[in-house]
Amino acid sequence: MKEKARLEIERLRREIERHNFMYYVENSPEISDREFDGLMQRLIDLEAAHPEFRSQDSPTMKVGGAPVEGFARIRHETPMLSIEFVRTAEKLREFDGRARKKLGRAPSGWVVEPKIDGVAVSLRYERGVLVRGGTRGDGNEGDDITANLSAVRDIPLRLDPLGRAGQAPEVLEVRGEAYMTWAAFENLNLKLREAGEQAFANPRNSTAGTLKLLDSRTVAARKLSFAAHGTGSPVGERFGTYTEIREYFRNAGIPAASPAERCKDMEEVISLIGRREEERRNLPFPSDGIVIKADDLDERESIGFAPKYPRWAIAFKFDAEAAMSSILSVDFQVGQSGQVTPVANMESVELGGTVVSRASLHNFEMTDRKDIRRGDRVIVEKAGEIIPYVVRSIIELRSGDAEPLRPPDACTVCGGPLTPDEARIAVSCGNAGCPGRIKAQLRLYASRGAMDIEGLGDRLIDLLVDGGLARSPADLYALGAADFESLERMGPKSAAALVSAIEASKGRGLARLLFALGIQHVGAEAARKIAARFGSLAAVMSAGLSELEDAEAVGPVLAASVHDFFRDGGNRALVDRLASAGVAMGNEAPAAESEPGPLHGKTVVVTGRIEGHTRESIEDLLRGMGASVAGSVSGKTSFVLAGEDAGSKAEKARGMGIPVIGYEEFLTSWNPQKGQKP
Ligand code: IVH
């Protein structure tokens, strides 16, 4: 009887281990979850009836054991190091250069893995059995969380259940990341909220919080994952490369960080970055970059270590930060051109240091292609200074029966018909008198980069348009203090201030006026170029297509757009009215009278945050020094001024051999006070 039970226990353990392997490593389960649970329950019952056969490495340990009082400490024989991180290709080349120098030649290859945003842990296997698992702690000493890690489903308690990997090493320390998928994180937060408890801010916090629990049964229920990314015990006798180690991990049933790719040199790694950044969005877990490590273990040893980091590995971090939220409702925003943009109102979430509650859904083609619906849990991202946008839905978490997003049948502001554009990506309201369009037009006109009318914000614009006081930017110039005083929450003082702000906007000059008109494709920069080339609005309006195309950096699309704009009777009437109101239609006092600035003839691209400056103020400074400022890097770029968190523009420039300089360096070499290069 006893022997029979022992044999069945043995058989069940092997069977369950094999199914675990098929599920977590091979991704091809052979039995249903129910059947699996049945096997596990049978094993639990047998072990309960025969406690003498209990064992540390039984798969039943995965359901968690009795709570502990606290954690013992463990020392890491080999310290768990941190990693250096960079954000630019140039820094990767420098890292590669240092490795080459140490090695006396180029490393033979690099392995690229996702940087998983979780918690680093170390697992110690002795003769193939998990004996201890610990947190990184300070790198030398961490907490012994063996019971909790044993409860992580994809951490094998015994290596190599299928007998594929050969004899287990005497000692193997597997280092890796405990993490939560977006889906596990969400499910946990749902349960916590239901129970009236505090939800976690992100999957890394929820992983760290879970690993600190004293009750491993709760850990088991929370569905952590694990991915190995290295070893902590000497393995040089058995393996020559990290690729071989990964191969062993796979055969032994240890999930390894993936997707992984091997590159022959750093240039190949760099060429991969763009694609990896895209793919990252579709990974089931949060990842903010990639880790690049030398493949050959002997080479690693020769390249060596800095005090806190290995010199043979580096992390490349992506710019955008991601967070998870849900779409509460969708607004349709009507733009100046009439284009309707879906905008998601979201559950507030912290993203890159600010609280975000609205995000663009771009257009209906995107929401269709990515199947984004109301009520969906979504990943939101913010890159640089651009407003946040919804990257994708987590469709596995969709519970309701929300319909796909459809464009509204009619304009949500004026009720007029909507027409799709040629590419069928967007729909637009064709009613030039649509209050939604007029408001958008006034918002642009009054904005800082355009006519800069201080005090004329969204609320006031709504009141003016809804109250019938303004239907066009030209109407602003006919308004007196009494008109403003008639509006809600407007005193005589602010009314007078507004009148003078509107008056002041008359002298902003051609470039800002061209931008303020909202001509399709004409951003602030293009407007400046056109203004510089033509000098007056009359000259722009009478210019032929080819003349427009000839203007520096005004491509055919832009030229056609400008040309069409001024062929429209309504637009011409607007210009006439602005002119008769006294709005300046030419360039400001020509800069040519003074000395040409030190950056005369230079084209500069700015990227990243420049300390003490807004984007506008740094551009103004550059222009004041005679530079022309461009939005993107091209063959014409003289140099890139890169601030904090500079991204792809700096990389592109470096790739093209264009100098990239920091603000400090800029100030010392192009001192704007002295106005000359020392
Ligand atoms: S390799 C000794 N690979 O990043 C440094 N680390 O390691 C070699 N991390 O907090 C580490 N994903 O937990 C490596 N695919 C990956 C990783 C990864 C995440 C974490 C790791 C640690 C930090 C530095």
Residues 345/358, Cβ–Cβ less than 8 Å: yes
Output the CA–CA distances (angstroms, integers) from residue 218 to 215, 307, 570, in the order listed: 6, 38, 68
Alpha-carbon gap, residue 673 to 293, rounded angstroms: 46
Q: Which of the two residues, 245 and 2, has the higher pLDDT score?
A: 245
Amino acid at residue number 157: L
Q: How many CA atoms lie within 13 A of 594 on its CB side?
A: 10
Domain 597-670, what architecture?
Answer: 3-Layer(aba) Sandwich (3.40)
Ligand 1 centroid from CA 154, angstroms = 18
- Domain 510-592: which topology? DNA polymerase; domain 1 (1.10.150)
Ligand 1 centroid from CA 132, angstroms = 20
Determine the pLDDT at residue 678: 31
Q: Return the percentage of the chain with pLDDT > 90, whole number.
A: 56
CB of 113 closer than 6 angstroms to any ligand 1 atom: yes
User: CATH assignment of 435-507, given 2.60.120.260, 1.20.1250.20, 1.10.150.20, 1.10.357.10?
Assistant: 1.10.150.20
Determine the pLDDT at residue 591: 40
Q: Which of the two residues, 176 and 645, has the higher pLDDT score?
A: 176
Amino acid at residue number 129: V
pLDDT at 608 over 70: yes
Domain range summary for the chain, segments of one domain joined by + = 2-54, 85-317, 322-429, 435-507, 510-592, 597-670
The closest of 444, 442, 435, 448 to 460, measured between CA atoms, is 442
pLDDT digits (tens, 9 = 90+) for 144-196: 999 999 999 899 999 998 888 889 999 999 999 999 998 899 889 888 988 88
User: CATH assignment of 85-317, given 3.30.930.10, 3.10.310.70, 3.30.470.30, 3.90.226.10?
Assistant: 3.30.470.30
Determine the pLDDT at residue 112: 98
Determine the pLDDT at residue 593: 41
Residue 110 pairs with which residues in a beta bridge? Answer: 263, 294
pLDDT digits (tens, 9 = 90+) for 45-93: 999 999 999 888 888 887 777 777 889 999 998 999 999 999 889 899 9
Determine the pLDDT at residue 463: 94
- Domain 322-429: which topology? OB fold (Dihydrolipoamide Acetyltransferase, E2P) (2.40.50)
Per-residue pLDDT band for 595 (boundaries 50, 70, 90) equals: low
Structure tokens at 489: 């929450």
Residues 515/523, Cβ–Cβ less than 8 Å: yes
Alpha-carbon gap, residue 206 to 119, rounded angstroms: 10
Atom of ligand 1 nearest to the CA of 81: 2
CB of 120 closer than 6 angstroms to any ligand 1 atom: yes
CB of 178 closer than 6 angstroms to any ligand 1 atom: no
CB of 394 closer than 6 angstroms to any ligand 1 atom: no
Q: Average pLDDT, stretch 465-488? A: 93
Per-residue pLDDT band for 677 (boundaries 50, 70, 90) equals: very low
User: Phi and psi (nearest 5°) for 295?
Assistant: -80, -40
Ligand 1 centroid from CA 115, angstroms = 6
Amino acid at residue number 413: V
Per-residue pLDDT band for 646 (boundaries 50, 70, 90) equals: confident
Determine the pLDDT at residue 323: 87
Decide if 435-507 and 510-592 have a common fold: yes
Report helix, strand or coil for 181: coil
Active site residues: 115
Which segment of 308-322, 366-380, 596-610, 657-671 scores lowest on mean pLDDT?
A: 657-671
Q: Which of the two residues, 438 and 350, has the higher pLDDT score?
A: 438
The closest of 476, 470, 463, 479 to 433, measured between CA atoms, is 470
Residues 435/461, Cβ–Cβ less than 8 Å: no
CB of 292 closer than 6 angstroms to any ligand 1 atom: no
Alpha-carbon gap, residue 265 to 475, rounded angstroms: 63
> Would you list the DSSP string of 144-177?
B-HHHHHTSTTS-SBS-TTS-S-SPPSEEEEEEE
CB of 121 closer than 6 angstroms to any ligand 1 atom: no
Nearest CA to ligand 1 atom 10: 120
Q: Return the percentage of the chain with pLDDT > 70, whole number.
A: 96
pLDDT digits (tens, 9 = 90+) for 320-367: 778 899 999 999 999 888 989 899 999 998 887 778 899 989 888 889
User: Phi and psi (nearest 5°) for 286?
Assistant: -75, 135
Q: Average pLDDT, stretch 604-631? A: 81
Omega of the bond leading into 107 within 30 degrees of 0 (cis): no
Question: What is the residue-averaged pLDDT of the chain?
Answer: 89
Ligand 1 centroid from CA 114, angstroms = 9
- Domain 2-54: which topology? Helix Hairpins (1.10.287)
Alpha-carbon gap, residue 458 to 442, rounded angstroms: 9
Residue found under tokens 């309707």: 340
